[in-house]
Structure 1
């Protein structure tokens, strides 16, 4: 049975992800959206800037018996995000970068952080609706260069999109992954992968493994499967 999204807006909090993780009784489909986050974070515990006017929101997913491997939720969240932005704005040049960064051209428009506690997964979305915060070494973009949309208007679009993509993932994970591939960098794209602090790999995108891992083709002909890493387009 699909849950109907319930969205709660607050003016300020530390982290919407942390708040939902602390609510052990929260049901799937509950959303918390904050105008400001004081302790927003990205992957690998990086600070996530939360400028005014941008979208900072999290939702809860409850893993069910028979669900596909939970690692695939990273791709599901990214697919839901790009579909929501496509529905909200006439943007061209949108592309997913493994596993779920959303690019506008070559610049980062949005990011996602998934955190798990037992059968509970919280997915946090940060979308540059109004402002493009500076990130050292990375270009950023804001949707406001195309059109203006508030977080209150964007939230139900994203919530509905994630509900649809979760249902697709649960009933046909192969189709879900195929749709992600259609929205991502094509096979053969040069990638630079920081798999660990002391390991940097350069290769080309060779597709996805069944569990959603990135398949990286190395110049030697070897293929590596990447389950967690910083991935940049290009080999610089």
Structure 2
């Protein structure tokens, strides 16, 4: 089955570059941007051999999984561009809900699947990592090239990861990567429009918090050599996680590995 854009994405002017196999869809998107590609354009494959996640962790997509990256040329500050990751989380969560419901109805089930957004860049299913999101930006001649990579475990999940991972197949959701991408391209068009070059981040923030994993729960974040503990209070207008400490202080976190629940401290060490 070939990859194809959803109808809304096609009407919005998105283009598509599909690979049978590639090292990294993010790397392909950035290479095209350096060569003059202005976007908006999707780069997709069902087999990625040299992908990477946050902190240069490998993100390998065996054949059948979905590796997808969208290139947008933006006229915004890098700090504003970084908030586009929250629109990406909403986009893939929305697409997952759509395709899982359709798959369940085909199979005669109810389709009651719950997905949650884990700060800053994961999508969880049953508390396990299903998707990862990686933003990269580079100044090119035409402006700020922003690449949003979204990797989804469709048929297989890695083992030995810091956060236990799962796949749609393990969850009993029978869907092809190509069908998921079509839904994703349309939902991206929707949430990218709401984000509106950062002007709509207030709405994105509200929608993201409605789907947030661990909101109001105990949390520990390892950031460098420091561990910040408390309760996940909210995300602020810049997209930082705000932690309420036992002393009542509100501490904004810009980056770190997040661990929820009673084992938070042990998991963060």
After superposition, the CA RMSD in angstroms is 1.9
- The structure that has the greater radius of gyration is 2
Runs of 4+ in 1 over 4 A off after TM superposition: 65-68
CA contact (8 A) 1:3 1:29 kept: no
Aligned to 2:69: 58
- Whether 1:136 and 2:161 are equivalent positions in the alignment is yes
Distance in structure 2 (CA, Å) of the matches to 1:187 and 1:86: 20
1:118-171 residue CA offsets vs partner (Å, 9 max, x unmatched): 211101111011112113342111112232111211112111111110110115
Q: Secondary structure at the match of 1:12?
A: coil
Distance in structure 1 (CA, Å) of the matches to 2:236 and 2:113: 28
Aligned to 1:27: 38
Distance in structure 2 (CA, Å) of the matches to 1:188 and 1:100: 18
Larger relative helix fraction:
2
Aligned to 1:153: 179
- Whether 1:228 and 2:255 are equivalent positions in the alignment is yes
TM superposition score normalised by structure 1: 0.92
Q: Secondary structure at the match of 2:192?
A: helix
Aligned to 1:216: 243
Choose from 5, 13, 17 the match for 1:4: 13
Aligned to 1:204: 231
Larger relative strand fraction:
1
CA contact (8 A) 2:15 2:39 kept: no
Choose from 157, 177, 193 the match for 1:167: 193
Q: Secondary structure at the match of 1:9?
A: strand
Alignment length, in residue pairs? Answer: 234
Distance in structure 1 (CA, Å) of the matches to 2:214 and 2:75: 32
Give the unaligned 5+ runs of structure 1. none
Aligned to 1:180: 208
Distance in structure 2 (CA, Å) of the matches to 1:8 and 1:165: 21
Give the unaligned 5+ runs of structure 2. 1-10, 102-111
CA contact (8 A) 1:76 1:165 kept: yes
Residue 35 (structure 1) shift: 2.3
1:31-85 residue CA offsets vs partner (Å, 9 max, x unmatched): 1112222211000001112122110111112213599922211211111110111
